[in-house]
Structure 1
Amino acid sequence: MLSFLPLFPLNLVAYPGEVLNLHIFELRYRQLVNECIDEQKTFGIPVYLNDNLPGFGTEVEIVALHKRYDDGRMDISTRGRRVFEVENFENPVEGKLYAGGEVTFSTDLVDLSQPLPELLKLLDSLYELLSISVEYDKEATQFSFQVAHRIGMSLDDEYQLLTMPRESERQQFLIRHLQKVLPIVADMEHTKARIKLNGHFKNLDPLNF
């Protein structure tokens, strides 16, 4: 079934459940946001990737208007709701300044009730290597979307994850990514440690020849 959404293309991936803060300054998007606030409507953020719209995006709702400037600019917070695929794109929508289009909403197949133990183990290893603390909800039904922006994926990989309808498939995708990047991160951290030692007095063990 087709649904119409006002569209706000961005060079980023918004995920369901994610809170995204936006500074609205273009006239066309000021019109879009004002209409969504006044009419309590949602809008879509399709991913703008490699100079085109490949098709998938996320419907978002405005959860807070933080500031409205004298010149009409706004600071807002949005929360992601559902993944969609653009079927027809109209730029601009007739009688409007902004783009819009007919979309179909994806059916999210939550076939995992908890994150895979291997994924949690890899996440812990990454954050331990980086000496950072990241909090996440292990009971979240879409756990993959919750951590996707926190593991250093490229925009292309983040988009590919968005197109996957099954939670199990998405978590396996994250596992494969982490298995690739962890050795690289470990090597970088080892190099940083060696650089920090350079110039320091070293207590070296004598060598027996």
Structure 2
Amino acid sequence: MKTKLPFFPLNLVAFPGQQLNLHVFEPRYKELVADCIASDSNFAIPSYVKNKVEYGTEMKITNIAKRYEDGRYDIETIALSVLHVLNMENPFRGKLYAAGEVEILTNVDNGDVLLKEELFKFLTELYQLVEIQKIPLTPKFKVFDIAHQTGLSKEAEYDLLQIREERKRQRFLLDHLKAILPQLREIQRNKELVKMNGHFRHYNPLEF
């Protein structure tokens, strides 16, 4: 589906379902938010990660937390769908902000149960190694739900955003976890060795 949306480019990746709080202070984006409120319409966050505006997320304003006298806003938003930017007009005719035509990308919810179980196992170990007390996993979790809590670089998050099938996203995240977990295990092992330093320990002699 193609549509036209105002653009609020940011150096971040917003995954569908993510709640994002924004403090809006620049004149062009104050105008953008005011227009969205007035018309009850959505806007796009093109993810400016790899020095270009190409993919991003459609955002909906869910609450105006605060409206300042000088036109600034504190808004609460939720990410809806991944989009592909087709063109951009900057500034958009008669406005301070940019806008353009986007294609809302279809998501294929074809997650694999076995891949999900493997992900759960690796994610649980990850959170234990980094000492996260409350594991942010539920039985119905999808990759987008927990992607920000997996140690992905911003560039990797941007690559993940473009994957349209849940099964492929599962494999992408598994490959990432299989790469970083050995490093984290080694760090944890070294931490334990440091804790042992200076203490008397009993070692069984090796038999040759």
With normalisation by structure 2, the TM-score equals: 0.91
What residue is the counterpart of 1:204 in the other structure?
A: 201
Name which of structure 1's ranges 115-124 and 19-28 shifts more when overlaid on structure 2: 115-124
For 2:179 and 2:140, locate their aligned partners in 1 and report how far apart those are by CA, in whole Å: 26
The residue type paired with residue 150 of structure 1 is Q
Deviation at residue 81 of structure 1 after TM alignment: 0.5
3-state SS of 2:61 partner: strand
SS at match of 1:90: coil
TM-score, normalised with respect to structure 1: 0.91
What is the match of residue 35 of structure 1? 35
Instruction: Measure the CA separation in 2 of the matches of 1:113 and 1:208.
Output: 48
Separation of aligned partners in 2, 1:208 and 1:174? 43
Give unpaired runs (5+ residues) of structure 2.
none
Preserved contact between residue 113 and residue 139 of structure 1 (Cα < 8 Å): no
Cα RMSD between the aligned structures? 1.9
Report how many aligned residue pairs link the two structures: 204
Aligned-residue offset at 1:101: 0.6
Distance 1:7 1:191, change over 3 A: same
Q: Residue 90 of structure 2 contacts residue 99 of structure 2 at CA under 8 Å; is this kept in 1?
A: yes
Matches within 5 A, 1:140-179: 140=141, 143-179=142-178
Rounded to whole Å, the distance in 1 between the matches of 2:204 and 2:185 is 28
Is the partner of 2:121 in helix, strand or coil? helix
* Structure 2 SS opposite 1:202: coil
Answer whether contact 1:16 1:145 (CA < 8 A) is retained: yes
Uncovered stretches (5+) of structure 1, i.e. residues with no partner:
none
The Cα shift of 1:196 comes to 4.2
Q: In structure 2, the residue corresponding to 1:103 is in which secondary structure?
A: strand
The 1:208/1:136 distance shift into structure 2, 3 A limit, reads closer
Classify the secondary structure of the residue corresponding to 2:109: coil
